[in-house]
């Protein structure tokens, strides 16, 4: 038997991260895995828990609390209802444990930190499909993570080109 797997999905509640979450649930997550959502909020985010957990990231937040708007307001996060429906359905059907961990700062650095510190068995991340010029100017989070991560990373490409 395989040891406990921790499948990470980087989420920012954008259409491309929803696509990554769906892909992970359909293709990567197996029964009884742990699905860990990694969310990175920008510096200066509001919320009563931000100062307390800024350096280490939040404690693991179970799905029941992640679904509670009052609890998530403390972390300055507002999960999308479609994300919550996907997660609740996956948790019920595959009997997986869904946890969230929130970080504050630069997404590239914090996602790589999460991979090491949790530790994650693998990570699924969306790609906004930026053009070459925007990618040079803004940098690509997924590209940085692929090149720096200490675990296998799957990039789910956004084909809508909303970027």
Angle between helices 15-27 and 81-94 (to 10 degrees): 10
Computed over every residue of the chain, the mean pLDDT equals: 88
> DSSP of 56-123, one letter per residue?
T-PPPEEHHHHT-HHHHHHTT----HHHHHHHHHHHHHH--EEEEEEEES-HHHHHHHHHHHTT-SEE
Per residue in 70-92, pLDDT (tens digit) is 999 999 998 889 999 999 999 99
Token pair of 46, please? 């509001």
∠ Cα 139 142 148 (to 5°): 95
Domain 6-157: which CATH class?
A: alpha beta
**CA–CA separation, 78 and 99 (whole Å):** 15
Strands 153-157, 122-127: pairing is parallel
**CA–CA separation, 12 and 21 (whole Å):** 11
Indicate the burial class of 9 (C-beta count within 10 angstroms; 0-12, 13-18, 19 or more).
buried
Full-model pTM: 0.89
| Every domain of the chain and the residues it spans | 6-157
Q: Under a CB-based contact definition with an 8 Å cutoff, are residues 77 and 53 in contact?
A: no
Q: Which residues of 127-139 are buried (b: 16+ CB within 10 A; e: fewer)?
A: bbebeeeebeeee
Per residue in 114-141, pLDDT (tens digit) is 999 999 999 999 987 655 554 444 458 8
> pLDDT value at position 137?
44
Region 87-107: what's the mean pLDDT? 95
């Amino acid at each position: 038997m395989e040891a406990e797997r921790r499948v990470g999905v980087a989420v920012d509640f954008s259409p491309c991260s929803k696509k990554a979450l769906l892909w992970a649930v359909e293709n990567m997550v197996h029964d009884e895995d742990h699905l860990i959502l990694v969310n990175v909020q920008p510096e200066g985010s509001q919320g009563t828990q931000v100062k307390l957990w800024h350096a280490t990231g939040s404690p693991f937040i179970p799905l029941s609390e992640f679904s509670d708007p009052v609890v998530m307001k403390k972390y300055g996060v507002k999960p999308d209802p479609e994300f919550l429906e996907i997660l609740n359905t996956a948790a019920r059907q595959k009997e997986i444990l869904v946890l969230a961990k929130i970080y504050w700062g630069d997404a590239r650095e914090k996602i790589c930190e999460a991979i090491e510190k949790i530790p994650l068995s693998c990570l699924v991340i969306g790609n906004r499909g930026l053009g070459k010029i925007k990618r040079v100017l803004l940098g690509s989070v997924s590209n940085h993570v692929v090149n720096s991560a200490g675990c296998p990373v799957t990039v789910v490409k956004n084909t809508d080109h909303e970027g």
